[in-house]
């Protein structure tokens, strides 16, 4: 699939040159820092040296005082506390964080995760019924609840106090909770709005520590869980999230909690985990239980001790293998269906009644890799069509779905991803309407995958010093991605090797130099015919380090190649 290369806007030359001099780095890296809002020596120092002392005061968050006071009373009066969380990675890490921390102070704790299929997302009626039947005094809801108007009333009417820790956008009406913590509330003055659900739970515990003069070091022991939530929930790795992710990854790589240690071991990865490794290796294993059976299996792993966690991790690994098989089979079917349509649609909406509900969001993302357009995958559940939508960069899929709301039972989500439910009889009409809406609104360039390059750079600037400075910009993730470099007019003197019929590997050099640089291009075997010995081409790539038997070398991990002049 042809891609469009877009270079990020050039910042002011004087600012770049000044920063380059002040912190002694080359101008290419200084340009990337300035593009990311780091313009002065002090800002660079703060960026390169994250510190837990710079975390925001939790009591800046609206209702934190009420929440901490209520939690303190519940703990010290030995009240029964139900820790309630969503079934995804953010929800299960949130529940595990609160449970593991509070169990040092209370033996009156239980956790509850709703069933993805029988209860659905958010605080469920069944969950509140469980709390009532088991005489809980306090519910702490994590990564959900900001729109749970009816369930909050149900808890209040039953005399149960509810603390909500959420990070999703509130609706026009707020739930009548004892305390609602959500930095996205309009009147909340908390300076950082992009915490994960687990991050909001962390702030509650931080407030609890401050109020009760408990050493925060006890809480920092659990930062590996917070880092897993930040990575898996794809929140921006800036500001407070950067600090939490930095120290959380450190903990994950040096002395992880028992459950995460077992997952790391079963993943087989030997090198240090990055944000992206968590997203692709740990996150899917934690998520697999919620997708295929029940997410309480994930919490049992994350809160378990070392005598139990290996068995729990084996179980999650098996679930993840099942999930992968479903995912691959359904993706193959979906791609066949799109190919059979053989038309010029601007959207993809597919329905098949026997597709597994737990993987349709993943399948939608996979389809976009082949057909770059807004995509919705639907299956049948409880006599209705239910589905997941994924979008392409810059197109608001939630808004597009809202234009079809008269055909839907319910829908929710955000710009890039959404969920929806509709009567089976409305599926065909919905497919037509959604295509109309997308065709009217989508820009032609949004249908072409974008390769966003941070800066053009000559190969002469690709050195270990460049790599080492760049590496200190980690952890990489949304809003602080690993820099993507562009270099024009590179040449190969020998044909690259094709590996497993899919990938290419070889050596290249600048047109004006003979110094060789190793490169690898995953999934780029189709480019082989165009790469000709002695003929210049252009590359977009990440700079990475190879470490083979202690021998370190730099490698260019290609993201795309171009052959135009």
Reported as a single tens digit per residue, the pLDDT across 304-331 is: 987 878 888 888 888 888 888 888 999 9
CA-nearest of 112, 100, 201 to 151 is 112
In residues, how long is the chain? 565
Question: How does 519-533 read in b/e, with b if 16+ C-beta sit within 10 Å?
Answer: bbbeebbebeeebee
In this predicted model, what pLDDT tens digit does every residue of 356-403 receive, in sequence order? Answer: 988 899 999 999 999 999 999 999 998 999 999 999 999 999 999 999
Asked if residue 1 has pLDDT above 90, the reply is: no
Determine the pLDDT at residue 414: 78
pLDDT band at 216 (very low <50, low <70, confident <90, very high): very high
C-alpha–C-alpha distance, residues 164 and 340, integer Å? 47
Please tell me what DSSP assigns to residue 480. Answer: B
User: Where does the pLDDT of residue 548 fall: very low under 50, low under 70, confident under 90, or very high at 90 and above?
Assistant: confident
pLDDT-based confidence at 420, cuts 50/70/90? very high
Find tokens 């590359």 and name the residue: 539
Query: Tens digits of per-residue pLDDT, 235-292?
Result: 999 999 999 999 999 999 999 999 999 999 988 888 899 999 999 899 989 988 777 7
Chain-centroid distance of CA 480 in Å reads 13
Is the model's pLDDT at 75 over the cut of 70?
yes
Give the torsion sign (CA, 25, 26, 29, 35). Answer: positive
Please list the residues that pair with 388 across neighbouring strands: 377, 419
């Amino acid at each position: 699939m042809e891609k469009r290369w877009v270079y990020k806007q050039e910042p002011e030359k004087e600012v770049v040159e000044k920063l380059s001099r002040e912190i002694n780095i080359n101008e290419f890296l200084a340009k990337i820092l300035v593009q990311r809002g780091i313009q002065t020596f002090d800002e660079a120092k703060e960026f390169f040296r994250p510190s837990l002392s710079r975390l925001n005061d939790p009591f800046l968050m609206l209702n934190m005082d009420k929440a901490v006071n209520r939690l303190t009373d519940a703990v010290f009066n030995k009240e029964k506390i139900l820790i309630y969380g969503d079934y995804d990675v953010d929800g299960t890490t949130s529940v595990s964080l609160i449970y593991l921390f509070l169990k040092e102070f209370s033996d009156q704790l239980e956790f509850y995760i709703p069933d993805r299929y029988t209860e659905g997302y958010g605080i469920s009626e069944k969950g509140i019924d469980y709390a009532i039947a088991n005489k809980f005094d306090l519910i702490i809801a994590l990564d959900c609840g900001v729109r749970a108007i009816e369930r909050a009333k149900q808890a209040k009417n039953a005399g149960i106090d509810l603390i909500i820790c959420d990070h999703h956008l509130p609706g026009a009406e707020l739930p009548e909770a004892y305390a609602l913590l959500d930095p996205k509330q309009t009147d909340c003055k908390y300076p950082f709005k992009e915490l994960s659900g687990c991050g909001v739970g962390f702030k509650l515990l931080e407030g609890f520590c401050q109020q009760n003069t408990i050493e925060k070091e006890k809480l920092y022991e659990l930062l590996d869980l917070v880092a897993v939530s930040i990575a898996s929930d794809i929140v921006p790795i800036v500001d407070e999230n950067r600090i939490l992710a930095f120290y959380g990854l450190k903990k994950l790589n040096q002395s992880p909690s028992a459950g995460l240690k077992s997952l790391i071991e079963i993943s087989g990865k030997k090198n240090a985990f990055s944000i992206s490794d968590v997203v692709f290796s740990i996150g899917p294993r934690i998520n697999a239980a919620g997708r295929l059976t029940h997410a309480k299996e994930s919490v049992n792993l994350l809160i378990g001790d070392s005598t139990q966690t290996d068995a729990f991790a084996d179980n999650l690994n098996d679930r993840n293998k099942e999930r992968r098989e479903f995912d691959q089979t359904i993706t193959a079917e979906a791609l066949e269906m799109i190919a059979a349509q053989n038309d010029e649609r601007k959207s993809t909406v597919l329905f098949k009644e026997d597709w597994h509900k737990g993987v349709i969001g993943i399948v939608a993302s996979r389809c976009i890799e082949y057909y770059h357009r807004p995509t919705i995958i639907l299956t049948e559940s409880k006599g209705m069509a239910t589905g997941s939508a994924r979008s392409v960069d810059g197109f608001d899929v939630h808004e597009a779905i809202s234009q079809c709301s008269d055909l839907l039972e319910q829908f929710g989500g955000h710009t890039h991803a959404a969920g929806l439910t509709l009567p089976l009889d409305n599926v065909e009409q919905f497919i037509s309407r959604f295509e109309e809406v997308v065709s009217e609104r989508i820009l032609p360039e949004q249908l072409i995958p974008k390769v966003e390059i941070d800066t053009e750079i000559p190969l002469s600037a690709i050195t270990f010093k460049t790599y080492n400075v760049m590496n200190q910009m980690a952890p990489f993730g949304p809003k602080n991605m690993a820099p993507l470099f562009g270099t024009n007019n590179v040449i190969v003197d020998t044909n690259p090797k094709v590996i497993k019929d899919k990938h290419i590997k070889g050596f290249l050099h600048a047109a004006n130099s003979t110094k060789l640089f190793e490169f690898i291009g995953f999934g780029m075997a189709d480019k082989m015919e165009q790469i000709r010995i002695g003929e210049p081409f252009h590359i977009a790539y990440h700079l990475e380090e190879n470490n083979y038997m202690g021998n370190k070398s730099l490698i260019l991990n290609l993201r795309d190649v171009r052959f135009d002049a």
